Structures are given as C-alpha cells and as structure tokens.
C-alpha cells in the first residue's frame, strides 16, 4: 500500500508541469481566435 | 567507433561556425549585433531562451540525480517549469514593449536607466558591472564543465578540449553576434530535445515496460518512489525556489526583448514551455529508466547515465549526435552569457558613457572585440580547472534572480516603483544572497534566492512608498506604455 501511495503521490506532484503547457496552449488559442475575430 | 563519433562532432562544430558566417552578413548595426534587430521568430525565440537557460545540467545533472536519489529531485523541475511559465506570461510581453518604447533599450541596464530616467547612471553602471563580472566567471565555469566532460568521455587532453570549444564559440559569436547565438541555440535546443526523447524511449524499449521500471526502482530502494524521502520542508522550498531566478537572468530576458512582434509571444511561450517540460520529463525518465536498465550501483558516476546510454544503445554515428547534444547544451548557455557581457561593455559603457557619437560600424566592432577579450579571459581562467574564482558562479543564479528579478517584475507591473527603490532593492537583494550563503545551519540552509528575492522586493516597495516618489516624467511614460499592452 505504501508503494502505491508514494507512486501516486509523485505523479500528482508533477501536474504543474503539464499544466503550464496546457495554460500556454489555451492562451495561444485565445490569441489566435481573437486575432481571427478581429480580422473578421 | 571513435572515428564515426568524432566525425559527427566535427560536422556539428562546422555547422555552428557556418551559421556564424551567415549571421555575419546580416549584421550591420549594434542593435543587430546585440539584439538581432528584434527580428526573432517565435520558434527561434522559444528554443533560444530554453537552450540558453538549460546547460549540461538538463542532460547530465538531472538524469544523474534521479538515478542516484529518486523522485525527491522533481521539486526543482516543478519550480523551474512554473518560474519559466510566469516569466513568459508576466515579463516577456511587457519587457518587449517597454524596451522598444522607452528609448529603444538594447540591454537590461539600458532598460533600467530608461525606465527610471536615471540621470546619475548609477543603475546602469552597477547592473552592467555585475553582469560583466558574473557572466565572465559563469562563461569560464561552463568552459571548465565542457572540457572536463570531453576529457572524461573521449580521453581528450583537457587543454585541447577547452581551446577547441572556446575557439568555435568565439568564432560564431564574434562573427554573427545575437543572430548567430540565437540560430545556433535553436539548432542546439533541437538537438537537446531530440536526445531527451530518443534516449528514454529506446531505453524503455530495452527494459520492456513502465511497470518493469517502477518495479526495478522499488526493488533498488522503495524510497526512490517517494518525492518526500530525505527531504525537509526547507529542502523542498529551496529546490522549488530555483524558479524565482528566471525573472532576473539577463541572457534569457534578452530573448524576450528580441522577438519580432509582441503578438508572436503566445506561440513562442507555447513552444518554449512545451520544449522545457518535455525536456525535463525526458531527463527525469532517463534517470528513472536507467535504474531498471543498469541495476543498482552499476555506474561509478551517476551523472554519466546519459553518456553511457548514448554509447551502449546506439550506432556510433547516432551516439555522436546524442553526445553532441551535451556539447550543445553547454555551448548554448556559454554563447548567450558571452554576448550579454559584450553588450554590457559596448552599449552600457562604450556607447552610453565613452563615445556617444560612435558610428554603428565602430560599435559592432567594439562588440566583436569585447566578445574575444571576455572569452579569452574566461578561457584563461578555465585553464586552472580548480580555480577558487570559479566558485563565484554558485552566487550567479541566485544573485541575478534576487538582485534583478523583483526589480524587473515591479518595474513592469507597478507604476509607483521609484529609481531609489530599484537601486536600494537591487543592492539589498544582492547583499542578502552573499550574506545568507556564507551562513550555515537552521534557516540558513534555505536557498539564498528566496530571502534575497523577498528582501529586494520588500526594500524596493518600502523605499518607493516612503522615500522620494517616482518622478512625474516616469509615471507619464509608464502610463503611456502600459496603455499599449492592455
């Protein structure tokens, strides 16, 4: 049980890393869509 | 085997110098030489910022740390990712706009002087001296690390490795300045990225499955799976606090200043963060999977995990490319620091103080000669691989982060920051780092960047609030420029 718990723990701890990529992706999409709307 | 690998290295080094020659033809003014004429596309900006930031640590240190101590090293990767993201988010667009709008600042000291209309020149001179001093030692330390690596890996004499590496870096930086440094960084960043994907992927195929990796790690030492083992709260905070350093690193901030358009920043941020996070994961997976591949205690030096895997799993030609990625990581950091040091001499001292009317051609050549002089000093320092002077480098990341970081952030986000606030903040942040580092035990085991950052920011705010306030001229300019990024 301990091994499972600790393994799970460090997977969760790594979430901020993909999260910052996801946030970057979202803000890029917002930027692209905003620019298209501006052109339209 | 040595021949195929060596051939790959020679091709790589010739490629770097060729880029320098191409960039030479496009460099006419000082703005071109030290900021690429603000013409970088999002991809080059992103990978150049990443490759300048990450040195051999990403390919050697981080996999080695995971291999030797397990998951408790992930805190630094988390701290760096969050810090880099916030730097892209908060600093990049504002700094790009402000540096161009406020008298076209080409360097960080230039920006600080213009931001606060500092006629005394204290902010410029102080920050330029700090950059020049620390980056010369930083460059030297990078050269030592690169030469040691090749001495150990290829049985090459230390001095030969040192001078060959230095000659190539000097050649392309001398010729092509910022464009050469950024384009080579792009190629070097791509090499690093590919290596950090290929090596863990191929090693995992050899091991079999991810379950086999976790089972092997648990068998080696079950605590390796625990991110908290052997870690104190201070230890965790210290590792994560590395991310605070980003806001004050002049060689990374220069990339933000050089991007072609502010509207390119969202894509550059996405590419930059994707490169960094995938690279960090690749490095961490390499260290973890290597535990299963080699078994416990099978390597005398954990930091050679990446090198040994490159050599045993691949054809010598491919192995040469993967090993060139390590050289790329070291070189891409050294060249950027070298150029920022040269910029401090050329823009902040020569043009602004000594020869205000100097023509552009003269300035470009002063920049080139400065590159050679600084690089030669750094290389000569590096000939004594154990020089105590090089220990100054351990102050550099925290020193820049604590002295410049809060000032850069506040100057871009708070109109009320005064010139005295910036000056006293910078000095108090730097002094805190030096004093804190000299102490040991208890709270002083905390990485000095955190207290330095807090003291710098706190002093800057207090002096601005209770001392002589920001001048009307700077407030008007701040409001004008701020309206542009809203």
In A, which residues are within 8 Å of B273 by CB distance?
20-21, 24
Q: Can you give the pLDDT at residue B102? A: 87
Instruction: Note the residue count of chain A.
Output: 40
A12: nearest CA partner in chain B: B227
ipTM surpassing 0.90: no
Determine, for residues A21 and B281 on separate chains, whether the beta-carbon distance falls below 8 Å.
no
pLDDT, averaged per 10 consecutive residues of chain B (486 residues), comes to 77 93 94 94 97 90 90 91 97 96 93 95 94 89 86 84 92 94 94 95 93 88 83 91 96 96 96 97 94 82 89 90 89 93 95 92 95 95 82 84 97 96 96 93 92 98 96 94 84
Instruction: Check: CB of residue B408 under 8 Å from CB of residue B110.
Output: no
pLDDT beneath 50, residues of chain A: 1-2, 5
Second CATH level (architecture) for the domain B2-392: Up-down Bundle (1.20)
Q: Can you give the pLDDT at residue B43? A: 97
Q: Can you give the pLDDT at residue B395? A: 84
Longest dimension (CA), chain A: 57
Tell me if chain A has a CB within 8 Å of the CB of B156.
Answer: no
A14: nearest CA partner in chain B: B78
pTM: 0.93
In B, which residues are within 8 Å of A3 by CB distance?
218, 222, 225
Tell me if chain A has a CB within 8 Å of the CB of B90.
Answer: no
DSSP per-residue letters across B47-65: HHHHHHH--HIIIIIHHHH
Q: Which of the residues B43, B70, B71 would you substitute to probe the A interface, choosing the one with the greatest number of A C-beta atoms within 10 Å?
A: B71
In A, which residues are within 8 Å of B71 by CB distance?
10
Determine, for residues B269 and A6 on separate chains, whether the beta-carbon distance falls below 8 Å.
no
Determine, for residues A27 and B266 on separate chains, whether the beta-carbon distance falls below 8 Å.
yes
Q: Can you give the pLDDT at residue B245? A: 96
SS3 of chain B: the string is CHHHHHHHHHHHHHHHHHHHHHHHHCCCCHHHHHHHHHCECHHHHHHHHHHHHCCHHHHHHHHHHHHHHHHHHHHHHHHHHHHHHHHHHHHHHHHHHHHHHCCCCCCHHHHHHHHCCCCCCHHHHHHHHHHHHHHHHHHHHHHHHHHHHHHHHHCCCHHHHHHHHHHHHHHHHHHHHHHHHHHHHHHHHHHHHHHHHHHHHHHHHHHCCHHHHHHHHHHHCHHHHCCCCCCCHHHHHHHHHHHHHHHHCHHHHHHHHHECCHHHHHHHHHHHHHHHHHHHHHHHHHHHHHHHHHCCCCCCCHHHHHHHHHHHHCCHHHHHHHHHHHHHHHHHHHHHHHHHHHHHHHHHHHHHHHCCCCCHHHHHHHHHHHHHHHHHHHHHHHHCCCCHHHHHHHHHHHHHHHHHHHHHHHHHHCCCCCHHHHHHHHHHHHHHHHHHHHCCCHHHHCCCHHHHHHHHHHHHHHHHHHCCCCCHHHHHHHHHHHHHHC
B85: nearest CA partner in chain A: A20
How far does B454 lie from chain A, in Å, by closest CA? Answer: 23
User: Which of A7, A10, A20 is closest, CB to CB, to B277?
Assistant: A20
Tell me if chain B has a CB within 8 Å of the CB of A8.
Answer: no
């Amino acid at each position: 049980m301990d091994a499972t718990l600790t393994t799970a723990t460090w997977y969760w701890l790594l979430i901020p890393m993909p999260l910052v990529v996801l946030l970057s992706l979202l803000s890029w999409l917002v930027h692209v869509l905003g620019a298209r709307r501006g052109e339209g | 085997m040595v021949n195929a690998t060596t051939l790959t290295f020679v091709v790589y080094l010739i490629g770097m110098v060729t880029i320098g020659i191409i960039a030479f033809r496009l460099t006419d003014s000082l703005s071109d030489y030290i900021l690429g004429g603000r013409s970088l596309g999002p991809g080059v900006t992103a990978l150049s910022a990443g490759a300048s930031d990450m040195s051999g640590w990403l390919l050697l240190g981080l996999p080695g740390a995971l291999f030797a101590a397990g998951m408790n090293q992930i805190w630094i990767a988390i701290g760096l990712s969050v810090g880099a993201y916030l730097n892209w988010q908060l600093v990049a667009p504002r700094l790009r706009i402000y540096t161009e709008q406020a008298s076209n600042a080409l360097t960080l000291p230039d920006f600080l002087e213009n931001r606060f209309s500092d006629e005394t020149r204290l902010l410029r001179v102080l920050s330029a001296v700090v950059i020049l001093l620390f980056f010369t030692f930083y460059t030297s330390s990078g050269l030592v690390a690169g030469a040691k690596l090749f001495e150990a890996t290829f049985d090459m004499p230390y001095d030969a490795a040192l001078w060959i590496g230095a000659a190539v870096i000097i050649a392309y930086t001398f010729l092509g300045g910022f464009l050469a440094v950024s384009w080579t960084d792009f190629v070097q960043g791509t090499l690093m990225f590919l290596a950090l994907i290929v090596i863990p992927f191929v090693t995992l195929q050899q091991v079999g499955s991810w379950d086999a990796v976790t089972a092997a790690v648990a068998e080696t030492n079950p605590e390796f799976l625990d991110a908290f083992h052997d870690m104190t709260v201070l230890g965790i905070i210290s590792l994560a606090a590395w991310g605070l350093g980003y806001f004050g690193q002049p060689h990374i901030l220069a990339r933000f200043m050089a991007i072609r358009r502010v509207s390119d920043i969202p894509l550059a941020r996405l590419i930059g963060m994707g490169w960094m996070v995938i690279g960090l994961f690749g490095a961490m997976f390499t260290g973890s999977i290597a535990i299963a591949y080699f078994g416990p205690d099978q390597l005398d030096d954990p930091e050679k995990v990446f090198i040994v895997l490159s050599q045993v799993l691949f054809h010598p030609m491919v192995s040469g490319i993967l090993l060139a990625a390590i050289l790329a990581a070291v070189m891409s950091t050294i060249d950027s620091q070298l150029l920022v040091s040269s910029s401090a001499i050329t823009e902040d001292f020569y043009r602004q103080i000594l020869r205000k009317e100097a023509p552009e051609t003269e300035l470009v050549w002063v920049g080139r000669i400065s590159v050679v002089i600084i690089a030669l000093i750094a290389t000569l320092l590096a000939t004594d691989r154990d020089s105590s002077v090089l220990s100054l480098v351990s102050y550099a990341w925290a020193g820049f982060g604590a002295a410049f970081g809060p000032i850069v952030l506040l100057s871009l986000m708070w109109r009320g920051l005064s010139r005295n606030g910036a000056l006293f903040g910078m000095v108090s942040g730097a002094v805190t780092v030096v004093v804190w580092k000299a102490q040991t035990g208890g709270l002083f085991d905390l990485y000095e960047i955190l207290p330095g950052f807090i003291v710098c920011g706190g002093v800057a705010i207090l002096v601005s609030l209770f001392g002589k306030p920001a001048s009307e001229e700077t407030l008007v300019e701040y409001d004008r420029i701020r309206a542009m990024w809203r």
